Structure 1
């Protein structure tokens, strides 16, 4: 689900299976929202999401689309490794004893994430007096970093900036209450239909009802034509799905 922070309306909603992480769906949602807004002559410049969408590939995707991502970096990420400064030009780390840990190879983990491996020469670690404290059970010191380390660093800097703190408050005060309203008052606490297509129709109708009620509460204030077109596009899409569903149902034969 995507919510416009300026108007507080739902700009996109869709049903997905719950067998994957939230971060896996950001690319698809981002493309759909950006294309819909572009059709209505609107530009998406910023994207706010919680830490569940933190992913190096997502940061890279948003930068390629010229969208500033305000997504908190996942808690396990560390921008620096204490005692091991990084040399960007040489693409290597230095240990406290000033021994190099150059880049050696790429590595793909079970999740499909591509990582970079750095490790020191075994002979350097073997003769090092700090080996019992540094790497007592391995031959040499190894460092593993994501290939999106630069994107993570930029996201980390945004997160801890003053604007980043304001963006977090904005997300918590505008986006999250919409989700709460849908589950509490618009029937999305539990989806009572089978299949992804059926769930999508239920969510789409709830979003349309929410947006229409939002505009009715404006008290005569005229909504922007672009946002109004977005609502009509969503309604048209829902009606198309319902029509296709009705047409696909088998027609019972009557006995003579």
Structure 2
């Protein structure tokens, strides 16, 4: 009996085709690349065209390059070299590029230079198009932020505290040398009083060093240690002060920056579900979302979400000529400054404050907290738990890091020394003092009522599955955890492409 042989489908690499298939036939009708093509074809690209010169050699069409770049970010291809290779190897890239083969330098220059001034308008056009289709709302948004690592060296950094420490050491050394000079100076040396180093500058250091060299240079018997210190100060202190001043100018209000990306600040990043992390150079990315579409984005060098909202709202106004009508956000944004800002713009704010969740839990409340004390409006005093009056003793004012002024009224108890609750109610030395910020208390009360209303509960629940999944999708599902470009302007371009890609992926899903 003859043995049977397996049956295979025909395989012939040399087979000729009378009608070769076109790329159009090979791209499925519902593929995301078609959504990219459809969306980019509908938007106005005049601002992008304006970035090109009227003279010179012909360039690749910006519409084609934009489609290729956006589809790269949609399909997790972020590197310009990988996009270049994909245009020669991937059917989808070949189809959307029209069989054009831009090299990685062209792609990178287009991303970094051509899109510098025009990407924001492209993003806004996409958002408006999606809004017209009823997929998102520009007026009702959720706001949140995340930290994304910068493309910078993790071990070369500048710290504001280190600069302050070095400047203090410099001041002390110059002071010590000056005191020695005074001890050995004669009347003819005409050595004045020590310089005022309350604010130390390069000019003051240079003048001090020059004067010390002038006085001590005439002396023959100078202490060798002092002579060595003066020699070192002459050579290094003015130069170091110039370097510190440049670094402080770059720092601004920040506490640190990376030497390889001066726009990046060292922030503590959450590395895993246990939030075990380390300080790394990063950017604070803020977005507004609606139905998991990105409506607005801003990049910030400061790690604190609280101070980013004003600039974020300003960008929304610049993009859409109006502020949003409703904002939902977590307790990271619940500050007096932000509440006041939104009140002035008539924005309905469903924003938690730092004590909101604690107040929701009736079993975890402090019975002696300020909000539990009875307030007598007629006599303008609080009543402590033992029935004593806490009388008004004055106001205190402070400014935040952004320059916002806060005013609090202070009330003090009469006699806490022999009170049986002393140590429980009052944990400070002397009589207990409470501070009440009337404007903030009013704003918190209003926020509490809004958040606990039927609409507020609905919006609080929605925020968790609206804005937070956007970051999870970008960082976890699509593996973008570190920027590829350096500098704040380029990082804004890169996240703008990520935002457009997120919106197109959501539309295609």
Calculate the TM-score normalised by the size of structure 1: 0.69
Taking a change above 3 Å as real, the CA distance of residues 176 and 82 of structure 1, as seen in their structure-2 partners, is closer
The answer to whether the aligner puts 1:107 opposite 2:397 as a matched pair is: yes
Please report how far the alpha carbon of residue 190 of structure 1 lies from its aligned counterpart in structure 2 after TM superposition. Answer: 0.9
CA contact (8 A) 2:398 2:406 kept: yes
Please report how far the alpha carbon of residue 110 of structure 1 lies from its aligned counterpart in structure 2 after TM superposition. Answer: 7.2
The answer to whether the aligner puts 1:9 opposite 2:289 as a matched pair is: no
Please report how far the alpha carbon of residue 178 of structure 1 lies from its aligned counterpart in structure 2 after TM superposition. Answer: 1.1
Of the candidates 402, 421, 429, which is equivalent to residue 138 of structure 1?
429
Report which stretch shifted further, 104-113 or 163-172.
104-113
CA contact (8 A) 2:287 2:294 kept: yes
Structure 2, unaligned stretches of length 5 or more? 1-285, 360-368
Cα offsets for 1:68-112 (capped at 9, x unmatched): 111111138988636521245665322232413325111327757
Please report how far the alpha carbon of residue 148 of structure 1 lies from its aligned counterpart in structure 2 after TM superposition. Answer: 1.8
Partner of 1:212: 504
Taking a change above 3 Å as real, the CA distance of residues 181 and 187 of structure 1, as seen in their structure-2 partners, is same
Partner of 1:53: 333
Alpha-carbon separation, structure 2, partners of 1:3 and 1:136: 42
Partner of 2:375: 86
3-state secondary structure, aligned to 2:506: helix
Alpha-carbon separation, structure 2, partners of 1:208 and 1:136: 53
Equivalent pairs, count: 210
Please report how far the alpha carbon of residue 180 of structure 1 lies from its aligned counterpart in structure 2 after TM superposition. Answer: 1.2
Structure scoring higher RCO (CA < 8 A, sep ≥ 6) equals: 1
Calculate the TM-score normalised by the size of structure 2: 0.37
Please report how far the alpha carbon of residue 136 of structure 1 lies from its aligned counterpart in structure 2 after TM superposition. Answer: 7.2
Alpha-carbon separation, structure 2, partners of 1:83 and 1:13: 40
Alpha-carbon separation, structure 2, partners of 1:184 and 1:129: 56
Of the candidates 54, 62, 70, which is equivalent to residue 350 of structure 2?
70
The answer to whether the aligner puts 1:150 opposite 2:442 as a matched pair is: yes
Please report how far the alpha carbon of residue 16 of structure 1 lies from its aligned counterpart in structure 2 after TM superposition. Answer: 1.4
Partner of 1:25: 308
3-state secondary structure, aligned to 2:503: helix
Alpha-carbon separation, structure 1, partners of 2:475 and 2:417: 62
Alpha-carbon separation, structure 1, partners of 2:288 and 2:444: 24
Taking a change above 3 Å as real, the CA distance of residues 82 and 148 of structure 1, as seen in their structure-2 partners, is closer
Structure 1, unaligned stretches of length 5 or more? 218-256
